[in-house]
Amino acid sequence: MKEFTIMENDSNQRLDRFIGKAVPLLPSSLLQKYIRTKRIKVNGKGAKREYRLIAGDTVQLYINDEFFAKPSDENSYLKVSTPNLEIVYEDENILLVDKKPGVLVHSAAGEWSYNTLIAHIQAYLFSSGQWDPKSDNSFAPALCNRIDRNTGGIVIAAKNAEAMRIMNEKIKNREIDKYYLCIVHGRPDPASGTLQGYLFKDSVKNRVYIKNHPVPGAKSAVTRYKTLAVKNGLSLLECELLTGRTHQIRAQLAAAGYPLLGDGKYGSNKDNKNYGEKGQMLYSYKLKFNFTTPSYVLEYLNGREFCVQKIYFAEKYFDYYFND
């Protein structure tokens, strides 16, 4: 049991709003339930959620200790009462999730948030009984790859330490083929090809630049592309990453003269404004497991392919659909 004594600065607040601030990890649904069931009391008695606190009141909370911890990425799953995930594939070792544009995979630097992909994944595994934080003190379900906030696509989560180790090794050795869909301004010529160059990252501006020749600090960048559809001055492309650099597809296509629709950083806001798009039309829609080294407990994944079937911008601009 935890107890708070209400001071003058906290007086005249509704009980539920005070608890929401004092115990930020407690989900709002549980907060309301605990008030109704009198696990949260005022001066030793049950109280309504709209009760206005008075200086000198004591608030008693009969709730689990973990909710009183300092909020962090490690415990943010506690705040998620109803996980919101679109699962592409799941087994006892891994989880493939379709991350939507606008969703953070982790909290932004210096800013805690429970509404992240990893928080919802951990909440899902916790609530379904697949993960017990109290018994698995040395491991928590974690992401093997990341996708930018404004880009959608498949994210791989490992359910156990062995799967995490193997999957990270496969990603490092480029034994997982990644395919993206995107919409660009213009019509690429040739319709299919390979973009090669050297990518230099300016960390201060969080922007990359494409060079045609090696320069200090630049890394090679190779992207294979194929035009799938053309309509009204736009093209739908499938891109395969042969290297994995920051903003690689966005920067290389823009440097080639075909910026992504909605991309204000590497494209033209003036051109994007005509379509009302504020985020880049880019989706990591397909993964192929192409293991060339031993994969142990994940061997059953070798040769398998997983794809997001519904890509909103492909349907919106091209009436382009994928079959199961």
Report pLDDT digits (tens) over 94-115: 999 999 999 999 988 767 889 9
Mean predicted lDDT score pLDDT of the chain: 94
Whose tokens are 């969703």? That residue is 103
**Topology adopted by domain 176-318:** Pseudouridine synthase (3.30.2350)
What's the pLDDT band for 321 if we cut at 50, 70, 90?
Answer: confident
Are the folds of 76-172 and 176-318 the same?
Answer: yes
**pTM across the whole model:** 0.90
First and final C-alpha spacing in the chain: 52
Higher-pLDDT residue of 129, 204? 129
The mean per-residue pLDDT over the stretch 145-158 comes to: 95
**What does CATH list as the number for 2-68?**
3.10.290.10
174-183, 186-195, 268-277, 294-303: range with lowest mean pLDDT: 268-277
What's the pLDDT band for 210 if we cut at 50, 70, 90?
Answer: very high
Three-class DSSP category at 194:
strand
Q: Which CATH superfamily is 76-172 part of? A: Pseudouridine synthase (3.30.2350.10)
Domain ranges (residues) in the chain = 2-68, 76-172, 176-318
